[in-house]
Every structure is written in C-alpha cells, then in structure tokens.
C-alpha cells in the first residue's frame, strides 16, 4: 500500500483576489466558485488567505461594512504550508498543531500549487466518519 500524499488530495483550482477586493465581492466569488477561501495576492507574492469564516468573525461580527471593507483588512498573513510530497497524515497533524482548517501546498519551483482542507483529509483518512460524510455531501445553496 502506497502512502497517500498531499498531492493526491489537494485542490489545484486556487482562486486569487487582490487585497483591495471588498468582502462582498470575495463572498460572492466564494459562493460562485463553491469554495470557502481565497488567496490574497498583490503582484507575484502572496499576501495571505481569507476564508468565509474570517469574513464572518473578523468583519461582519465587528459590524464592518462588507461593501466598503477589503479583504486586505482582514487577511491572515501567517500562512501554514505543506509540500505536495508530504503525507496526508503529516498535513493532518500540522493542521491540528496549528489549529487551522486549511493549508497551502507549495513547492520550490511553482510556489503555490494547491490547498488542502480538513474536509479533503477527512474524506481520505476516514471516509466513513461523520466529517468524511459531510465533506462528500453536496453544498446547500
């Protein structure tokens, strides 16, 4: 049995938005793309990541105007990364240790090549678990 790697489960369709994007625009993009995060990039470098939860907890709960507040104002700059060849168990342990639900997948040549979520790992590590079942379910729009 071969060890499953991050490359086997990562999402390669990474959505990038500039930091001046409003929260409302970012939320619409997430809804249209059926994703829970966007990578914030200004030019060639990564600024950070914003998740749907960030929008709610850091902005909406603080009564920020989603039409006027930008993702650059709430971006998470401390990014947790793994390599494509890392095992999925290594990624899961890192998520646990860093208390994050997503990690960026980076290599030395291309830089950012994907994202792995806790749901991606749950489907692979324990597909019969409740979390694995939830992760496989179609989203409720």
- Tell me the pLDDT tens digit for each residue of 1-33: 567 999 999 999 999 999 999 999 999 999 999
Q: Using CA atoms, how far apart are residues 132 and 49, in angstroms rounded to an integer?
A: 24
Residue stretches of the chain with pLDDT short of 50: 130-137
Dihedral Cα 70, 100, 104, 12, nearest 10 deg:
-90
Place of tokens 């790992």: 121
Confidence at residue 141, expressed as pLDDT on a 0 to 100 scale: 53
Q: Which residues fall within 8 angstroms of residue 94, CB to CB, at 6 or more apart?
A: 80, 82, 103
The CATH superfamily assigned to 6-135 is CBS-domain (3.10.580.10)
- CB of 123 closer than 8 Å to CB of 8: no
Confidence at residue 106, expressed as pLDDT on a 0 to 100 scale: 95
Instruction: Domain ranges for the chain, please list them.
Output: 6-135
The phi and psi torsions of 83 (rounded to 5 degrees) equal -100, 150
Torsion 82-87-91-96 (CA) sign: negative
DSSP letter assigned to residue 2: P
């Amino acid at each position: 049995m071969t060890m499953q790697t991050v490359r086997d489960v990562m999402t390669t369709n990474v959505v990038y938005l500039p930091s001046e994007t409003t929260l409302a625009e970012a939320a619409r993009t997430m809804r249209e793309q059926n994703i829970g995060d966007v990578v914030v990039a200004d030019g060639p470098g990564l600024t950070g990541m914003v998740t749907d939860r960030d929008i709610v907890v850091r902005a909406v709960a603080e009564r920020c105007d989603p039409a006027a507040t930008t993702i650059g104002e709430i971006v998470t700059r401390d990014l947790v990364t793994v390599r494509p060849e890392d095992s999925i168990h290594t990624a899961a342990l890192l998520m646990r240790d860093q208390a994050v639900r997503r990690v960026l997948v980076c290599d030395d040549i291309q830089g950012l090549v994907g994202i792995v979520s806790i749901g991606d790992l749950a489907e692979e590590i324990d597909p019969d678990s409740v979390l694995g079942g939830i992760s496989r379910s179609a989203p409720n729009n």
